[in-house]
Amino acid sequence: MSDAISTVKKKAEEVEKVVVRFAGDSGDGMQLTGSQFSFTSAMFGNDLATFPDFPAEIRAPLGTVEGVSGFQVQIGKIDIYTPGDQADVLVAMNPAALKSNLGHAKKGGNIIVDLDAFDKRNIEKAGFSANPLEDHTLDDYNVVQAPISSLTKTALESIELDNKSIMRSKNMFALGMMYWLFDRPLTDTVRYLEAKFKKTPALIEANKKALYAGFHYAETVEALPSFYKVPPASIEKGKYRHVSGNVATAWGLMAASEKSGKRLFYGSYPITPASDILHELSKHKNFGVITLQAEDEIAAICSAIGASYAGQIGCTASSGPGLALKGEALGLAIMSELPLVIVDVQRGGPSTGLPTKTEQADLNIAIYGRNSEAPAIVIAASTPSNCFEFAYMAVKLSIEHMTPVILLTDGYLANGSEPWKIPNMSSMPDIVIPNPPNLNGSGFLPYVRDKEKLSRYWAIPGTIGLEHRIGGLEKQEETGNVSYDPLNHENMVRVRAEKVERVANYIPELEIIGEGVGKLLVVGWGGTYGGLFTSVKELQQSGRKVDLAHFNYINPLPKNTKDVFSKYEKVLVCELNMGQLASHLRSKFPGVKIESYTKIQGQPFTVTELKEQFLEQLKNNYEHNGRDQEEIYKTGLYQRSIGSVVSGLRRLLHPVGNAKCITPNGCCQRGCGVCIRNRLCCTIPVLHEYLWLPYRTWKRPGCSYRS
Amino acid sequence: MNTYGFHTVHGRGPAVATGVKLANPKLSVWEVQGDGDALAIGGNHFIHALRRNIDINILLFNNEIYGLTKGQYSPTSQMGKVTKSTPFGAVERPFHAAELVMGAQGTYYARTIDTNPKLMTEIFVKAAKHVGTSMVEILQNCVIFNDKTHGAITARENRDDFQLHIEHGKPMLFGKDKNKGIKLNGLKLEVVTVGENGITEKDILVHDAHTEDPTLHLMLARLTPPKFPMILGVIREVKAKAYYQMMEEEFEMSKTRAKYHTMDELLHGGETWEVK
């Protein structure tokens, strides 16, 4: 069969970027459809970003909202950093998919539904009171009612296949329609189908037929008067491939293994959304990768620690609940000062939480979540493809500094994918193994340290002459013997902390996207990069003074962090939690005004909501007149407005009731509204601020409000 | 002797040892545990190290008490045992380590007592030579918190009548005059005396440590005084591939099947496209 080419003359509408969302029952093959569409678009030369959004249930009841699986992709001729906020085109394979995805569809956009699926039973199951195709539910959209199921059946009449297999091809029909709508070739998908169903030619035939049928059907549909043209993006020259965050993570670990000449040992217990790293690594045993599917999360990390002790790269991955279980063993790795990489693919929590949804709420547990003083290096990847780079860096830092590294990714990065300019191994930085120095006849002491990094040396068991014992009990400096000496303990606690702090000398400085000075600095970390970058860039292009600084290295922080912050009137930390990085930064830089913008819905930020928030923040910075008095009273004292002075004075005068301080930062850690002194300490800075007086010298001990 | 050692975390020894062995199969790995360590907090790691047949040697020092935390009952403490945390006596049924070994399809189980260095050496050497996870249970006394807990077996006056040192291929005879023995009667074991009631040495059970079927091993391991002697020595020693051997076979197999042999090949392989 030759490639289908549209013959009907319809109008082409050129767009810079477009968002497509596929939604159907979890058995409808929407993930496959979405990834094929993405792949074809990537081959065509578009930049893109994807976001699969699927249920936790293996197979929720057919036709229910709980069982809907979605896949969103944004393609563009411009650089694309997010899967997009709302879909220009939504494909809904049944009423439940329409119901749960309507919120993701752009008003005025196209909705393509499988008309055959809209029977009474399915409509009821989805929770619609009436057929949404017949009432006014979809008035704001251009709806294409395509009898996808029956047309697929007709198209596949001549093929000898059971009804179930035939109906499973309907996703290809829908994909074919999309290929017409976006003027895409079918060849890449055909090649894919031929490889995938090599053993059952009937399935190749069925899927191909459905694909072509969909394509030809779409060009006859009156409701689709035009098709989109999304020209190739002008992206950097080179060889590209598609990669998801989890695969990139696995490859980054493998790359570090190859570069360092150490075997990769990966101990892991299956957990969503981290399991794909285990799946990927277990394919590559010929690279010397050892994978152990451990009996539990604890064994996963402990076996990795054992492997590190034996001289290979010990590595484990999990999600939040697993990281909680690994805490004790992580302490052992910190105490025994061994290399260890722990990947935490964050998901919604606490407890089992939202296993298939994304969140950034494991930052606190990564930085602080262990008994006693147990510092670890914490880094975070920020795009699906740079999971490769940061997995590689996690291994490098861990080996070179002889201490555990926690790499944070998240469900959004892990399952999301994007085109990736393939790096060459020769361009990856060297990994220097901290081999013990020449002993010149003296015995090996396990806790003798490198003078610059403060890291100890890695003596490999089995080597004659380097015999030594390590463990979880406190160690005497240099000898590593068990020691209960009080001063030695204090010294060792401080040395371990200092060792991690000194990693700041070996990591890149914080980069600023923007002018480096101004009214508002947006700060983010990890997987929110795409949304933050796009929002900030768009505002910058419209002339707004807003910059972005995005953290990949979190503990220790880049050395220039405070300098960067000090150039801005306001620092706004945006994250998918209740403000964990904001709190961390406030404790590190108490003099800097740090505010927090958060979202905790298991979904990434949308560019729309971010831009609205930034504009609001810019307004707050210098506009105060005309604000609603009640709003000022509620939202607190941080505004430079007469209103806040009034409300501050009110607080001063009324010792009970509304006296509780409700500044976004919380005025005073000891709790306000209790004693007059605290209220004073809130109010006076406001007065000073209003009058533009240098109030910074005025400070009551214990008050953190802009002190 | 100078060697490499890693004092890990309570209960987690088998997991760490698993990582050590798999990362460097050439090492001879020995892992020392206590009863609470192996059978309570680390029970999961213990059974899985046995099930996987990692080639490590586990020495389980069983004193039926928590000594380091100053005297609470352990999962091997006898029912009714009065300890700091069971002032009215323990109401839990104790674990028999051997049952866990057999239940986890362990390939090597031996038992010895702390005061018999000769037997211990013999068993340790055999454990070291065994390919797969070896589990040696050492009945240990705790002079402070659980003195004479194994007294019924270890006391000088009880040694001959309540210890049976078994060896593969030899009849299970014991007693001062080596005239008492173990006989299989139907599905039960019984103690008989050679020369009495027409019993000859031919009636005495001959130990087969190498049989894969764990039934008899389990029955022997469960015998306790005063009705029976405690069985000491290598009760089970079965040949099976160790985990690392199968892992290395996989490496070899994957090398012949693999499409990509370097990271550059892997990264640049598969579906790619050129942007010009």
Give the integer Cα–Cα distance in Å for A238 and A227.
29
- Out of B12, B255, B276, name the one closest to residue A298 (CB): B12
Q: Decide if A17 contacts A78 (C-beta within 8 A).
A: yes
In B225-245, which positions are buried (b, 16+ CB within 10 angstroms) versus exposed (e)?
eeebbbbbbbbbbbeeebbbe
When mean pLDDT is compared across A63-67, A361-365, A455-459, the lowest value belongs to A63-67
In a domain, B144, yes or no: yes
Taking 50 as the threshold, does the pLDDT of residue A415 lie above it?
A: yes
pLDDT of residue A707: 31
Give the integer Cα–Cα distance in Å for B51 and B48.
5
Q: Decide if A140 contacts A200 (C-beta within 8 A).
A: no
Confidence of residue A651 (pLDDT cuts 50, 70, 90): low
Token pair of A467, please?
A: 């015999």
The domain in which residue B63 lies consists of 13-149+238-268
- Out of A284, A302, A473, name the one closest to residue B12 (CB): A302
Taking 90 as the threshold, does the pLDDT of residue A245 lie above it?
A: yes
Residue B253 to residues A284, A288, A699, B242, B257, Cα–Cα distance (Å): 11, 12, 70, 17, 6
Q: In the predicted model, what is the mean pLDDT of chain A?
A: 88
For B270, the closest chain A residue by CA position comes to A241
Give the integer Cα–Cα distance in Å for A459 and A309.
8
Name all domains of chain A by residue range, CATH numbers in brackets.
11-229 (3.40.920.10), 242-427 (3.40.50.970), 512-622 (3.40.50.920), 629-697 (no CATH)
Confidence of residue A652 (pLDDT cuts 50, 70, 90): low
In a domain, B177, yes or no: no
Q: Which candidate in B54, B133, B273, B274 is best for mutational testing of the A interface (most A CBs within 10 A)?
A: B273
pLDDT of residue A62: 84
For B22, the closest chain A residue by CA position comes to A307
pLDDT average, residue stretch A345-355: 95
pLDDT (tens digit per residue) in A188-235: 999 999 999 999 999 999 999 999 999 999 999 988 888 999 999 888
In a domain, B36, yes or no: yes
pLDDT average, residue stretch A305-311: 98
Taking 50 as the threshold, does the pLDDT of residue A636 lie above it?
A: no
pLDDT of residue A640: 45
ipTM higher than threshold 0.90? yes
In a domain, B197, yes or no: no
In a domain, B174, yes or no: no
Greater confidence (A674 vs A76) lies with A76
Confidence of residue B135 (pLDDT cuts 50, 70, 90): very high
Number of domains in chain B: 1
pLDDT average, residue stretch A84-110: 95
Write the CATH number for B22.
Answer: 3.40.50.970
Q: Which residues contact A212 (CB under 8 A, 6 or more apart)?
A: A1, A4, A176, A186
Tell if the CB–CB gap between A309 and B276 is shorter than 8 Å: no
Taking 70 as the threshold, does the pLDDT of residue B44 lie above it?
A: yes
pLDDT of residue A689: 43
Q: Which candidate in B1, B2, B10, B18 is best for mutational testing of the A interface (most A CBs within 10 A)?
A: B18
pLDDT average, residue stretch B60-86: 95
- Out of A239, A302, A473, name the one closest to residue B272 (CB): A239
pLDDT average, residue stretch B63-88: 95
Taking 60 as the threshold, does the pLDDT of residue A97 lie above it?
A: yes
Give the integer Cα–Cα distance in Å for A598 and A576.
6
Taking 60 as the threshold, does the pLDDT of residue A547 lie above it?
A: yes
pLDDT of residue A664: 42
Confidence of residue A7 (pLDDT cuts 50, 70, 90): low
pLDDT of residue A642: 52
Q: Tally the C-alpha atoms within 13 A of residue B270's C-alpha that lie toward its C-beta.
A: 12
Confidence of residue A672 (pLDDT cuts 50, 70, 90): very low
When mean pLDDT is compared across A465-474, A487-496, A682-691, the lowest value belongs to A682-691
Residues in B closer than 8 angstroms to A336, CB to CB, are 6
Residues in A closer than 8 angstroms to B258, CB to CB, are 284, 286
Tell if the CB–CB gap between A310 and B250 is shorter than 8 Å: no
pLDDT (tens digit per residue) in B209-244: 999 999 999 999 999 999 999 999 999 999 999 999
pLDDT of residue A667: 43
In a domain, B49, yes or no: yes
| Chain B contact for A255 (CB, 8 A cutoff) | yes
Strand partners, A410: A346
In a domain, B172, yes or no: no
Q: How many CB atoms lie within 10 A of CB B261?
A: 11
Residues in A closer than 8 angstroms to B262, CB to CB, are 258, 425
pLDDT average, residue stretch A275-280: 98
pLDDT of residue A628: 43
pLDDT average, residue stretch B53-69: 96
pLDDT of residue A61: 83
In a domain, B127, yes or no: yes
When mean pLDDT is compared across A44-53, A518-527, B20-29, B114-123, the lowest value belongs to A44-53
% of chain B surpassing 70 pLDDT: 100
% of chain A surpassing 70 pLDDT: 86
Give the integer Cα–Cα distance in Å for A63 and A66.
8
For A266, the closest chain B residue by CA position comes to B19
